[in-house]
Structure 1
Amino acid sequence: MSRQQLSSEAHKNLPHANPLSVAQMSDLLEAALARQPRTALEIGCGAGGFSIELAKRQDVHVVALDTNPYALERAMAAASKAQLIGTVEFCQKPAADFNGEPVDLLVCIGASQAFGTPRQALQALRGLLAPNGTLVFAELSWSAKPPSEYLQYLATSEGDYWTAKEAEHVFAEAGLKVETIMIASADSWAQYEAGVLHGRLEFAKTIAPDQAAEIVEMSTEWFRLYEAHGRHCLGFLACVATRSDGEPGV
């Protein structure tokens, strides 16, 4: 059992692998397609839902990257059954290995760790965008000041993420203009965390007892700390931004 397999199984029965609502993800899809992109890149595509929907709706060529072979297996199976107008090319490789041309549309939802911190990710992603390209970016944010013990558990610092009020300034520093902001609701967050916990515990029932015990302990501790701290200070923020300076990627 690997962490990648656990992650894939934990999200298997969820509509998507983040705390946004189904309606919000639909709105992100509409925003992504608004400028009628011809080329797109998704970082951390997971089971492929967003990339597949792009290609179902529009004649766009999507390159979808992930390092998780279990998620990609599901993505390719789903794509093979879908009626696509465009095309989707799934690739198992780190985002840093992408060497294609800058794209019209760039999607990075909960996958900023591919470039380091979220702030570092924005700088890197800007360089992958064609002039006037669109970025759909979603990641953890702060809804309140996090306690130090929770930061230590997450192995992060308060400066790695930002609040909704700070988003426009943070994106502007990276040369991006925010057009739309969406915030996961408390109910959507709670449903997501409960769904991930359920998926992990169900998977634990199918594997060897020693590995199962480790998963149960890790999963219940994460959920306990989320209930105690995370739900009071964590947010999940999605931004649709544009690179409007007209300069080539850097």
Structure 2
Amino acid sequence: MAAPEDPDRTRYDRMRWNTPLSQDHAALLLDRLAVGATDRVTDLGCGWGELLLRAVEPNGASGVGVDVDADGLERGRRLAAARGLEDRVTFVEAEAASWDEPADRLLCIGSSHVLGGTGPALARLAELTPPGGRLLFGDACWTDPPTAAAAEMFAEVLPLTGLLDHVHAAGWRVLHLSTADQREWDDFESTWRAARQEWLIRHGADDRATEVRERLDAQLDAYVRTYRGVLQFCYLVLGR
């Protein structure tokens, strides 16, 4: 009998994208990003590129997704092929920090850390965006003062005002600002664990089950007790 699949490789299986974002909210952000038919769209830290695919699908634009996660990139290629987008969207296994090709529209959602943090990321993304270009940028933030436990857990997160200070310092103009609501956060956190919870139900007697159960319980406990309703996530459509 074949061994059960690796639960760690299933962690994204139930997720539409790796960010707290509803489909309606995503549609709003892409509308504000205003991708044109001749635009080149780059998603740095794309994962499997679902948002990138939705950005280019309606109007003939082309895109490239950049990430170091080979499994995610292969999933993105399958999704692109299923929609007939394989000739317009390319997935590249590379470090986002080393990417130097400009694009008319850029996406960077939850990936500022791979570009050196919020400030350096916004500055670098400005270098890759020509005048008249736009950026869809997503980053965690505090909209209210965090608890001590949350601040310790997410020491690198800035208040929203600090995030906007970096936006302006990098020369961006804010075309749109919105934050994830509680339902988006709950769905994100739940779907991130869902495939592993399902694995645990199917394979409760597996040698790995105890470790998986303890890890999932600790993650859920941290979410509910420490940062649910406290940590925020901001989406910005920026122009220059």
TM-score by length of 2: 0.86
Contact (CA 8 Å) 1:109, 1:138: kept in 2 or not?
yes
SS at match of 1:76: helix
Displacement of 1:22: 1.0
Q: Deviations over 1:89-146 (max 9, x none)?
A: 100111012132x211110111112112222211221111112210000121113222
1:19 is aligned to 2:32: no
> Which blocks of at least 5 consecutive residues in structure 2 are unaligned?
1-6
Displacement of 1:174: 1.6
1:139 is aligned to 2:139: yes
Moved more, 50-59 or 234-243: 50-59
Q: How many equivalent pairs are there?
A: 234
Q: Give the Cα separation in 1 of the matches to 2:205 and 2:126.
A: 44
- Partner in structure 1 of residue 3 of structure 2: none
Shift in CA distance, 206/177, structure 1 to aligned 2, threshold 3 Å: farther
Q: Give the Cα separation in 1 of the matches to 2:210 and 2:120.
A: 36
1:108 is aligned to 2:108: yes
Q: Give the Cα separation in 2 of the matches to 1:83 and 1:144.
A: 44
Q: Give the Cα separation in 1 of the matches to 2:45 and 2:222.
A: 26
Shift in CA distance, 208/60, structure 1 to aligned 2, threshold 3 Å: farther
1:233 is aligned to 2:230: yes
Shift in CA distance, 144/200, structure 1 to aligned 2, threshold 3 Å: farther
Amino acid at match of 1:183: T
Displacement of 1:232: 3.1
Structure 1 segment 9-88 matched on structure 2, within 5 A: 9-34=10-35, 38-84=39-85, 87-88=88-89
2:158 to 155, 161, 176: 161
Q: Give the Cα separation in 2 of the matches to 1:170 and 1:218.
A: 35
SS at match of 2:57: helix
Q: Give the Cα separation in 2 of the matches to 1:123 and 1:15.
A: 29
2:184 to 178, 188, 195: 188
Q: Deviations over 1:21-69 (max 9, x none)?
A: 1101111122223555611110111122122222311232211111111
Shift in CA distance, 37/223, structure 1 to aligned 2, threshold 3 Å: farther
Contact (CA 8 Å) 1:96, 1:115: kept in 2 or not?
yes
2:193 to 187, 192, 197: 197
CA RMSD after TM alignment: 2.5
Shift in CA distance, 97/34, structure 1 to aligned 2, threshold 3 Å: closer
Moved more, 120-129 or 144-153: 144-153
SS at match of 1:129: coil
Q: Give the Cα separation in 1 of the matches to 2:54 and 2:120.
A: 28
TM-score by length of 1: 0.83
Contact (CA 8 Å) 2:12, 2:195: kept in 1 or not?
yes
Q: Deviations over 1:179-198 (max 9, x none)?
A: 10121111221122122222
Contact (CA 8 Å) 2:150, 2:231: kept in 1 or not?
no
Q: Give the Cα separation in 1 of the matches to 2:195 and 2:38.
A: 35
1:178 to 152, 160, 174: 174
> Which blocks of at least 5 consecutive residues in structure 1 are unaligned?
244-250
Moved more, 195-204 or 19-28: 195-204
Moved more, 145-154 or 181-190: 145-154
Q: Deviations over 1:177-228 (max 9, x none)?
A: 1110121111221122122222232345569945443333233212211111
Contact (CA 8 Å) 2:141, 2:163: kept in 1 or not?
no
Shift in CA distance, 230/94, structure 1 to aligned 2, threshold 3 Å: same
Contact (CA 8 Å) 1:47, 1:71: kept in 2 or not?
yes
Runs of at least 4 residues off by over 6 Å: none
Q: Give the Cα separation in 2 of the matches to 1:31 and 1:203.
A: 39
State the identity %. Answer: 24
Amino acid at match of 2:145: K
